DNA sequence: TCAAAAGTGTTCAAGTTACACCCATGT
DNA sequence: ACATGGGTGTAACTTGAACACTTTTGA
């Protein structure tokens, strides 16, 4: 990997310890009204073939955010998706394979856009968020933290839409929030609240995959949302 | 510094780049009803003698949290204070002195407990949060992020008390929240709300430093707070 | 006696929660 | 014709916001 390194002079900071730095990605998806996580069979020792998050070491010349974006793109084929730093895990003994500090990122992706191919290449599998297997190192803790963060953030920012296809029904959206908050919501109140914000655009199209009557499809309208933000509106659900 | 290094074998991860890792601490205090930040004159090149956060490199054998605790203790004489990881800054070019990834921590300390001595030894100064000078590297951005986080977190967790002396008055507490949220609050509503939570203990003692009449002192009651948490109570202000 | 901060209740508007029935349609 | 999920309104309650005067006491 070090063939990529820029030769930083480091004339000032000689003598300080250098440490292996990694990124690990917690990847959320939403499918068949269930919240999912993408996990991988680890390809290297130690812990080869055990379930784990996907990640790799950061190169010396690489922004940490770019490293996370590249990891995500390599394993899902997607770029330009929601990806945010979560937390930095740095206990000296967290990895018996060596002293590695890991920066965890979490991503929200649209499962319908994802390339099946990439998932298979990486021996990956989508797990229900409530059926995550035992993972290597502190990866289960990372997932816990990411899920907590998602719960908090989804309440005050319209990031739920990052997990849905461009067109979705109100019952889809409700099921998404139910699986994020792990509660049941009242259909009438939910609909009233989300529609009253004025950030959804109703289409003249119905989705009949889950009922005979069919449910109207909606789109999230980013411009309307940003206009409202400017006027001091605060998303909350 | 590397005299402290454990000789990690790293038999698995050879070939990956190693990177300098640092911690930087954003230290909040509250004095004379103003929210303050502790800043330092940098002692090393590059940027020697410019204002900066306090920080140092992480050693190979050191938990990142411990490193932050030690930095805080060295410069304030305090341990066992509120200290939490904020964010990891890792653009490849953020520091012209070398490739350094920095993990920012923010701390809330009680100014009345702080040892004056330590502050002077470190050429430190307490700045009003609205009068922060230009700092080196991305330290101004770190402070912005920490202040944002404080605003969010103070709303839903009783961390404000970490900034106040053990005994404080309701007007003190109100002034603290006013300087965190940067707004004026209604005295009656504030008092009503905070007292109705049942987490403050009224003492038979008055503080007369800021008025002739004097204001009753209160203490935060951690046990009551935890009992309420168990019952599903949510702090919010 | 007066200046300066501490302390105290009520009203109104807005938002949240709870709750039950009809609709449309494919089988 | 019936089973299935989609869609609709109202009333009770809770919460947050606005607002003015009295109390205490050191100087």
What whole-number distance in Å separates Cα of residue B82 and Cα of residue B107?
5
The minimum CA-CA distance between B1 and chain A, rounded to whole Å, is: 6
Closest CA to B43 of B116, B124, B114: B124
The tens digit of pLDDT for each residue in A95-147 reads: 999 999 999 999 999 998 777 767 777 789 999 999 999 999 999 999 999 99
**What's the rounded mean pLDDT across residues A203-217?**
96
What token pair was written down for B216? 């009753």
Query: Do B8 and B57 contact (CB within 8 A), yes or no?
Result: no
CB burial of residue B80 (10 Å; 0-12, 13-18, 19+): exposed
- CA–CA distance, A11 with A19 (Å, rounded to integer): 18
Helix (H, G, I), strand (E, B) or coil at A123: coil
Sign of CA dihedral B90, B91, B94, B96: positive
| Interatomic CA distance for residues B133 and B7, integer angstroms | 41
Structure tokens at A129: 């968020």
Q: If you search the block for the tokens 């690990």, which residue do you land on?
A: A24
Query: Does a cis peptide bond (omega within 30 degrees of 0) precede residue A22?
Result: no
The whole-angstrom separation of Cα B204 and Cα B55 is 42
pLDDT confidence band for A161 (50 / 70 / 90):
very high
pTM: 0.94
Q: At which residue do the structure tokens 């002195």 appear? A: B97
Output the pLDDT for position B4. 42
Q: Strand C within 7 Å of which CB atoms in B 186-225?
A: 187-189, 191-192, 210-216
User: Quick check: B189 CB within 7 A of strand D?
Assistant: yes
- The vertex-B154 CA angle with B150 and B159, nearest 5°, equals 100
Buried/exposed A110-131: b ≥16 CB within 10 Å, e otherwise: bbeebeeeebeebebebbebee
Could you tell me which residues come within 8 angstroms of residue A164 by beta carbon, excluding any fewer than 6 positions away?
A30, A110, A172, A173, A176, A220
Tokens of B112: 């009345």
Cα–Cα distance measured from residue A51 to residue A41, given in angstroms and rounded to the nearest whole number: 5
**What is the three-state SS of B2-31?**
HHHCCCCCCCCCCCCCEEEEEEEEEEEEEE
Q: Are A15 and B2 in contact (CB under 8 A)?
A: yes
Q: Give the B window 168-187 contacts with A, CB below 8 Å.
A: none
- Residues of B within 8 A of A9 (CB-CB) are 98
Asked whether residue B133, judged by its CB, lies under 7 Å from any atom of the DNA or RNA strand D, the reply is no
The pLDDT score that the predictor gives to residue B96 is 95
Q: What is the mean pLDDT of each run of 10 residues along chain B (237 residues)?
A: 45 92 98 95 94 98 98 92 98 96 98 76 90 98 98 96 97 97 97 96 96 97 94 90
* DSSP state at residue A61: T
| Alpha-carbon gap, residue B185 to A175, rounded angstroms | 38
Walk across the sheet containing A167-169 and list its strands: A167-169, A215-220, A200-207
Indicate whether A3 pLDDT > 60. Answer: no
Cα–Cα distance, A42 to A51 (Å, whole number): 6
Does residue A6 register a pLDDT over 60?
A: no
Task: Tell me what pLDDT residue A196 has.
Answer: 95
In chain B, alpha helices (H) = 64-76, 116-121, 139-156, 170-181, 187-196, 222-230
The partner residues of B31 in beta bridges, in order of sequence, read B34
User: What per-residue confidence (pLDDT) applies to B134?
Assistant: 98
- Give every strand in the sheet of B200-207, ordered side by side: B167-169, B215-220, B200-207
Cα(B20)–Cα(B4) distance, integer angstroms: 15
Tell me what pLDDT residue A9 has.
53
Q: Could you give all domains of chain A from N- to C-terminal order, each with its CATH number?
A: 3-155 (3.90.79.10), 164-230 (1.10.10.10)
Q: Could you tell me the distance in Å between the CA of residue B129 and the C1' of nucleotide C13? A: 36
Q: Which helix (H) or strand (E) holds A150?
A: helix A139-156
Pair of tokens at residue A29: 């998806």
Is residue A69 within 8 Å of residue A87, measured between CB atoms? no
Residues of A in contact with B44 (CB under 8 A): 12
Asked if B17 lies within 8 A of A60 by C-beta distance, the reply is yes
- CB proximity list for B7: less than 8 A, separation 6 or greater: none
The predicted model gives A200-218 an average pLDDT of 96
For A167, residues 6+ apart whose C-beta sits below 8 A from its C-beta are A203, A205, A207, A217, A218, A219
Which residues numbered 51-90 in chain A sit less than 7 A from strand C, measured from CB?
Answer: none
Say yes or no: B97 contacts chain A, CB-CB below 8 A: yes
What residues of chain B lie within 8 A of the CB of A103, using their CB?
88, 90
DSSP-derived 3-state class of residue B75: helix
Residues whose CB falls within 8 Å of the CB of residue A223, separated by 6 or more in sequence, listed in order: none
Pick from B126, B66, B45: nearest CA to A11: B45
Residue identified by tokens 């202040």 is B147
CA nearest B76: which of B21, B44, B127, B114?
B114
């Amino acid at each position: 990997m070090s063939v990529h390194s820029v030769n930083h002079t480091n004339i000032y900071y000689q003598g300080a310890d250098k440490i292996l730095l990694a990124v690990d990605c917690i990847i959320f998806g939403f499918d068949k009204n269930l919240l999912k996580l993408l996990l991988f069979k680890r390809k290297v020792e130690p812990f080869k073939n055990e379930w784990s998050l996907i990640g790799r070491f950061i190169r010396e010349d690489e922004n940490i955010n770019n490293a996370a974006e590249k990891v995500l793109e390599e394993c899902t084929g997607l770029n330009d998706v929601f990806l945010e730093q979560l937390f930095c895990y740095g206990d000296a003994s967290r990895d018996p394979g060596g002293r590695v500090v890991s920066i965890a990122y979490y991503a929200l992706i649209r499962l319908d856009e994802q390339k099946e191919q990439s998932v298979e290449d990486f021996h990956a599998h989508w797990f229900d968020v409530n059926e995550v297997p035992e993972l290597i190192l502190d990866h289960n803790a990372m997932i816990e933290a990411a899920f907590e963060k998602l719960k908090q953030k989804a309440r005050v920012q319209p990031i739920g839409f990052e997990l849905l296809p461009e067109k979705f029904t109100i019952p889809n959206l409700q099921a998404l929030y139910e699986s994020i908050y792990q509660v049941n919501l009242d259909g009438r109140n939910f609909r009233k609240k989300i529609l009253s914000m004025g950030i959804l655009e109703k289409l003249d199209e119905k989705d009949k995959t889950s009922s005979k009557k069919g449910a109207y499809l909606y789109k999230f309208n980013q411009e309307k949302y940003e206009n409202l933000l400017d006027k001091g509106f605060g998303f909350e659900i």
